[in-house]
Amino acid sequence: DTEVTQTPKHLVMGMTNKKSLKCEQHMGHRAMYWYKQKAKKPPELMFVYSYEKLSINESVPSRFSPECPNSSLLNLHLHALQPEDSALYLCASSPMGNNEQFFGPGTRLTVL
């Protein structure tokens, strides 16, 4: 298995909802990442997990809560989001060290 999967593909939620995005990889990668990408903009790093521990939080608002329950799974819990949080949320993984990141197809999130 050489891919990163993300569910759901699309998500529409209200500002009072709680939802979660899921990312999974079975390549044995021990580093996993969440990115946010707005239309016609580059991906912006949100979080990095290394060996299931949070290594980088790029000053992301607390309404985004990451979780890494095991080495294959990465979740992003969403609560009380704003319309400006609507974006494509990309998950990526890589082997530890300086290696290329493999991206999942993303979840397109719309906040009403």
The nearest distance, CB 81 to another protein, in angstroms, is 21
Cβ atoms of residues 4 and 33 within 8 Å: no
Task: For residue 86, state whether it binds another protein (rule: CB under 8 A).
Answer: no
> What whole-number distance in Å separates Cα of residue 110 and Cα of residue 12?
5
Task: For residue 52, state whether it binds another protein (rule: CB under 8 A).
Answer: no
List C-alpha distances in Å: 81 to 24, 28, 103. 23, 32, 24
Which range binds another protein by CB under 8 A, 19-27, 45-53, 59-67, 77-85? 45-53
Which range binds another protein by CB under 8 A, 19-27, 44-52, 66-74, 78-86? 44-52
